[in-house]
Amino acid sequence: MSQRSEELMTSRRRFLKYLAASPLLAYWGFNSGRASLAQTPDQGPLDQEIMDAFAQDINVIPSPEKALNVFDFEPAARGVLPPAHYGYLITGVDNDATMRANREDFRKYQLRARRLVDVREIDTSTDLLGEKWNTPIVIAPIASQQAFHYDGEIAVANAARSREQLQILSTLSTESVEDVSRARGRPVWYQLYPTDTWNVTEALVKRAEAAGCPVVVLTVDLLAGSNRESLERFKLMDDRICSDCHDPDIPEWTTRPMFKGMDMSEVRFSGAGLTWEFVDRLKELTTMKVVIKGIVTHEDARLCLAHGVDGIVVSSHGGRAVASSRSTIACLPEVVEAVGGRIPVLIDSGFRRGTDIFKALALGADAICIGRPYLWGLAAFGQPGVEKVLDILRAELRLVMRQMGTTSIAKISRNSIKQEG
């Protein structure tokens, strides 16, 4: 066994010791070293498969090259992350039903393969808001990436550069937009979290614009807050002293690089009072194209058009925002129909396979954003892990396009899939 593999296994066993000492064992129904949730569907926040995985001392891949699919990176990430950081990565809201739906609902669509098509040449390129990309796969914005690997967003940007991949950077990144864009080799898209203070929004947007970002992605699905039970339970397993890294008297999010030099003492991370007027002000403030992330209904899609929005991301924040129990793949058709091709529609949440990506493209999405998979790769192996995750998804997409007889993204249509029932 390699030194890296031994380190992963040691970390994993240490994590299992957290579980063994946890008062939550009785709640989760651990029995003889294995997890078994009570039968009440809404009692436990973590599904059976996840808890079973914790109770087994399984082998993990020793290097990115050994991965057969993106799921292989999850145990490797789990083995090296402290409980609170892993809990942040894995959590949904309430009983995690929305997060599970994001995966399960892909099964509701089957592929319709066409035969005797020359598929020697496959074109996965796509156009998004005036730029051409060699793949419809986008690196979604995720906060606090140095919590998963010390190179954080820089490692991801380096991977995005090596694979010529579109990257969206979170407001709550642990690296500045200037440094990430420099590592990426071209400006990234900038994701915007609104606060209750317009001056802060204005400063963030102007800074992103000055850094050359062509697009600002306004996230609107967390304005009312969220109830992340799984995260809180994993925090209880973590015996580290948090004050070693975080000042308990200062909201941690206010210390991020994008807020450097601002007076954040009276600023609140809240957007409960935001309305479409905010979108109008944002459009007037910047020359960047404005994309709204978190749209899941045809009503709001039409309002995006009415307010001059340049693009939409159908998103449930990876099942971390609202306990709707409704997947993004289920929301996609009504948003696509409402937009009618006038602006691009992207989608995230739950994408793990090339077939998942293909199904979303068949339903009318222009691009697909991935989140947790590339963080699994980042946590386990840094930049090479992210690169391998991207390579796997791109290879799987090309394979399914060949299998379906669709030689370009433009040739993937609603006729390429069939919904069950």
**What is the rounded CA–CA span in Å between residue 271 and residue 292?**
14
Contact yes or no for 414/363 (Cβ under 8 A): yes
The answer to whether 102 touches 316, Cβ cutoff 8 Å, is yes
Residue 385 backbone dihedrals phi, psi, to 5 degrees: -65, -40
Nearest to 103 by CA among 373, 406, 313, 386: 373
- From the list 85, 246, 307, 317, the catalytic residue is 317
Cα Rg of the chain (Å, integer) = 21
**3-state DSSP helix/strand/coil % of the chain, to nearest 5:** 45, 10, 40
DSSP result, 246-269 = S-TTS-GGGGSGGGTTS--TT--S
Tokens of 229: 């039970």
Rounded Cα–Cα distance for residues 125 and 133 (Å): 5
E strands present in 210-260: 215-219
State yes or no: is 149 an active-site residue: no
Which DSSP category does 188 fall into? Answer: P
| Catalytic residue annotation | 317
